[in-house]
């Protein structure tokens, strides 16, 4: 069984724990950013992480795994492979999460909602709402890293391989902005 430190060591080894001044997808600012794509680009590592996280839901029947584009696409696929289930992803259109590309959800299907990194949990909450509104039963939510410090609530059982607390700031109260440090927006929402 992987420990939190093992997961965070993977991020450090892959240079995926970035330091600087970042604008997160949530709109908040932070001095640290977890670039999970640098970890998930290695299929053997992605598979290992998915198997580890899927073990927390091993007693559940899963018809599909769903995650938000872009961060949840690769991880949704790897988690679906573990469960021998379909992998779906949502995309943002006109500010709302939607299913595209012919993806459909049948009423009564059971799903697991996943994300690579959770900060406020906003995108994952939207994915969960979409799945429920489509008639699915959401049996849980999962992420590689919960950077909310354990405060994110999805209304379903939630599991993460690592839980960290990383300070975030609203733009108007960001000490990094006040220092004049240039801001980078590494997430998928530009």
* CA pair distance 39, 17, nearest whole angstrom: 10
pLDDT classification of 182: cutoffs 50, 70, 90: very high
What are 100-115's pLDDT values in tens digits? Answer: 999 999 999 999 999 9
pLDDT surpassing 80 at residue 187: no
Average predicted confidence (pLDDT) for the chain: 93
Residue-wise pLDDT tens digits, 78-135: 999 999 999 999 999 998 999 999 999 999 999 999 999 998 899 999 999 999 999 9
Tell me the C-alpha to C-alpha distance, in Å, between residue 69 and each of 20, 55, 61, 123, 179.
24, 24, 24, 9, 33
Q: How confident is the model at residue 41 (pLDDT cuts 50, 70, 90)?
A: very high
Q: Is 3.30.750.200 the CATH number for 4-178?
A: no
The residue count for the chain: 190
């Amino acid at each position: 069984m992987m420990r939190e430190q093992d997961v965070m060591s993977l991020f450090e080894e892959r240079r995926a724990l970035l330091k600087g001044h970042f604008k997160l997808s949530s709109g908040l600012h932070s001095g640290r950013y977890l670039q999970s794509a640098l970890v998930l680009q290695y299929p053997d590592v992605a598979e290992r992480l998915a198997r580890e996280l899927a073990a927390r839901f091993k007693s559940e029947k899963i018809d599909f795994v769903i995650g938000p584009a872009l961060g949840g696409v690769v991880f949704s696929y790897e988690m679906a492979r573990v469960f021998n289930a379909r992998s779906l992803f949502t995309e943002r259109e006109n500010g709302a999460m939607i299913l595209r590309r012919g993806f459909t959800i049948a009423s009564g299907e059971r799903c697991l909602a996943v994300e690579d990194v959770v900060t406020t949990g906003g995108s994952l909450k939207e994915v969960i709402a979409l799945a429920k509104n489509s008639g699915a039963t959401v049996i849980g939510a999962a992420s590689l890293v919960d950077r909310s410090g354990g405060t994110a609530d999805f209304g379903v059982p939630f599991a993460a391989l690592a839980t960290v607390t990383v300070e975030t700031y609203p733009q108007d109260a960001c000490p990094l902005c006040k220092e004049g440090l240039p801001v980078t927006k590494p997430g998928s929402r530009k």
